[in-house]
Amino acid sequence: MPEPHPTVQLGAHRYVVVAQRQARLRRQVPAVFAGAGTTDARDLLTMLSDRAYELLRVFIPDVMPKWEYDGYAGEEAAFNDHYDELADQSPTHRQVQDALAVCLEVNGIDRFKLLGNVVSPELIRALMSQRLADLAIGNSPSLPAPSGEPPSTTSSPTSPTPDEPASVAGPSPA
């Protein structure tokens, strides 16, 4: 019998991945890519690693702390930039890639690739690039509310759905 929600392994932890509300994703994902255009090639791995962690935090709100993701033994070690390879419990790059792929699939974001069967890939890339650029600079047009009133500016809860857990399950005991 398949799992009710997919799980991902990151380092020594296992997390349950649940679909997040689209409004939360619209607000959180652009912040992850803010300023991405200013990174030079030699910092690419660092930029991608940092962005991957921030994306994982969007999709798995209770993901491990940043210091653990970065391979430090604790907060103090991270603060002092004291890396101990023997204490490193960070996830592998493959675990991060697999986790992001599951997160994208669970949230339906991977379905954009299906548009390639109907619409030219160049048009899809152009539209997605424009949309990401608009989101990154906060230029996203708001649609009017169904009642004709202006859109609400209040924030919404970040829980996935009312009938699902308020956040994804934390690390399972080893």
pLDDT of amino acid 48:
62
Q: Tens digit of pLDDT for each residue in 58-106?
A: 899 999 999 999 999 999 999 999 999 999 999 998 899 899 889 888 8
pLDDT of amino acid 169:
44
Q: Is 70 exposed, middle or buried (0-12, 13-18, 19+ CB in 10 A)?
A: middle
Is pLDDT at 13 greater than 70 in this prediction?
A: yes
Burial 73-91 (b: 16+ CB within 10 A, else e): beeebbeeeeeeeeeeebb
* DSSP SS3 for 121: helix
Q: How far apart are CA 56 and CA 102, in angstroms?
A: 11
DSSP state of 45: H
Q: Compute how many other C-beta atoms are within 10 angstroms of the C-beta atom of residue 61.
A: 19
53 closest CA partner among 112, 117, 103, 6: 103
Q: Is 9 exposed, middle or buried (0-12, 13-18, 19+ CB in 10 A)?
A: middle
Q: Across all residues in the chain, what is the average pLDDT? A: 72
Q: What values do phi and psi take at 145, rounded to 5?
A: -65, 155
Q: Tens digit of pLDDT for each residue in 130-155?
A: 766 766 666 555 444 444 444 444 44
Angle CA(98)–CA(138)–CA(67) in degrees, nearest 5?
40
- Residue the block writes with tokens 């509310």: 145
Q: How far apart are CA 94 and CA 141, in angstroms?
A: 36
* DSSP SS3 for 142: coil
